[in-house]
Structure 1
Amino acid sequence: MSRTFIVADDHPLFRGALKEILASLADSVTVEASDFDDAAAALTAHPDADLMLLDLAMPGNGGLSGLAVLRAEHPGVPIAIVSGSDDAVVIARALELGASGFIPKSASLDVIRDGIGRLLAGDVFLPEGFTPPSEPDPELSSIADRLRRLTPQQTRVLAMLARGLLNKQIAYELDVSEATVKAHVSAILQKLGVDSRTQAVILLGKLGWSQ
């Protein structure tokens, strides 16, 4: 049976390499995305995809914020990170937000192929030698737990707040009323345990989210 994969990366050559690896591992259809909006649209169009490979630094992704949004909206699709960074803290935070694995772009094609194969088998793949931070940060764990309480739409609104968008702009992008956005913002602040939009964005910064 044919599988569906989504490769979300802004570098065409790297997308091509990943597509070839996926084709060698399974009878498959690979959907490509070059920015976060395309990646989100691809997941919406293929909600039963077998795997997404997501570049953290892709335009519009906002670092870990994009991962959090996609995981909230499509909890059943495994999403593995491909990144030019193999920083242990970033890897640990990605796993906390629901990533199925982390593949460094600096790895050889053989290692990437092995990693993807293990992901398709249902395993978690991490860089060789990865050691999680010795002492989990209780504050970061608490923030991640609170983020997981948000609904998919609230997570998307929060990501837009982190981009500095006003309620009017968020309403336009989501095609909802400004009153609906205000209700979402109020619920977000309550679930995160903060009093203002600024404090909410500061929390995201602590978890490694970026604009």
Structure 2
Amino acid sequence: MNATYSILIADDHPLFRNALLQSIQMAFTHTRLLEADSLHTLVRLLNQEEEIDLVLLDLKMPGTNGMSGLIQLRAEYPDLPIVVISASEESAIVSQVKHYGAFGFIPKSSDMKTLIAALRQVLEGAPYFPEEMLNNGHAFDDVSERIASLTPQQYKVLNMLSDGLLNKQIAHELHVSEATIKAHLTAIFRKLDVKNRTQAVILLQEHHS
């Protein structure tokens, strides 16, 4: 494969990140590799770089927990191919990753041959999900379904709520009015079937645990 690719590896474990980097370098000689150890660094690199062909994303690293990083990236960079590489290999996790818009899922337990074959497949434009790991028809519990019904902006508001921000602060961060935030909260409470901010935050934390 002679094409030049830019791949961004986002994982906070230096040993795994380095092993992945070396494996890709051996298999894809004309590949430019970038590294990020947090969601903040990942977003900064995405904003700096003109073109990234693929992001390899760990589900748990600073700035993200569970599906929150994937959902945020999908909302902000809708055309960016994202493949999750995770030690969480339960079928429900794989199905959620697919539902939230990832282009693939590679288990961290994969051997070199499987890893390289999966990367070749996604770089050639075909998604990769291990069939034996997909939980067909039973991917979500009720909480996940409700969280998934939120729009990207509503999800962002909910996460800021979870960080303890007030309506005024959220409005300032998102460059909208307080009235807009109140409207978002009303919609969030309705979709999550909760009555107040505290219940919404608890639900989100349960989803991420």
> If the TM-score is normalised by the length of the shorter chain, which range does it land in?
0.7 to 0.9
- Structure 1, 24-33 or 100-109: larger mean CA deviation: 24-33
The runs of 5 or more residues in structure 2 that have no matched partner are: none
Deviation at 1:133, TM superposition (A): 4.7
When the two structures are superposed, what TM-score results if normalisation uses the length of structure 2? 0.80
Q: Deviations over 1:97-145 (max 9, x none)?
A: 1111111111112211111111112222223621415535584574255
Q: Deviations over 1:129-164 (max 9, x none)?
A: 2141553558457425522x333xx43332222334
- In the alignment, which residue of structure 1 is the partner of 2:48? 45
**Amino acid of the structure 1 residue aligned with 2:39:** F
Rg bigger for which structure?
A: 2
Correspondence 1:187 to 2:189: no
- In the alignment, which residue of structure 2 is the partner of 1:209? 208
- In the alignment, which residue of structure 2 is the partner of 1:111? 114
Correspondence 1:86 to 2:85: no
- In the alignment, which residue of structure 1 is the partner of 2:99? 96
Equivalent in 25, 34, 37 of residue 34 of structure 1: 37
- In the alignment, which residue of structure 1 is the partner of 2:22? 20
Contact 2:167 2:181 in 1 (8 A): no
Correspondence 1:200 to 2:200: yes
State the SS of the aligned residue for 2:152.
Answer: coil
**Amino acid of the structure 2 residue aligned with 1:97:** Y
Shift in alpha-carbon separation, 1:192–1:124, aligned structure 2, 3 A:
farther
Correspondence 1:129 to 2:132: yes
State the SS of the aligned residue for 2:16.
Answer: helix
User: Identity across aligned pairs (percent)?
Assistant: 35
Contact 2:189 2:196 in 1 (8 A): no
The runs of 5 or more residues in structure 1 that have no matched partner are: none
For 2:109 and 2:13, how far apart are their aligned partners in 1? 14
- In the alignment, which residue of structure 1 is the partner of 2:159? 159
- In the alignment, which residue of structure 1 is the partner of 2:10? 8
Please show how residues 72-83 of structure 1 align to structure 2 within 5 Å. Answer: 72-83=75-86
Shift in alpha-carbon separation, 1:188–1:26, aligned structure 2, 3 A:
farther
**Amino acid of the structure 2 residue aligned with 1:116:** L
Deviation at 1:50, TM superposition (A): 0.9
Q: Say how many residue pairs are matched.
A: 203
Contact 1:25 1:117 in 2 (8 A): no
Shift in alpha-carbon separation, 1:163–1:19, aligned structure 2, 3 A:
same
Please show how residues 168-183 of structure 1 align to structure 2 within 5 Å. Answer: 170=170, 174=173, 176=175, 180=177, 183=180
When the two structures are superposed, what TM-score results if normalisation uses the length of structure 1? 0.79
**Amino acid of the structure 1 residue aligned with 2:201:** V
Deviation at 1:33, TM superposition (A): 0.4
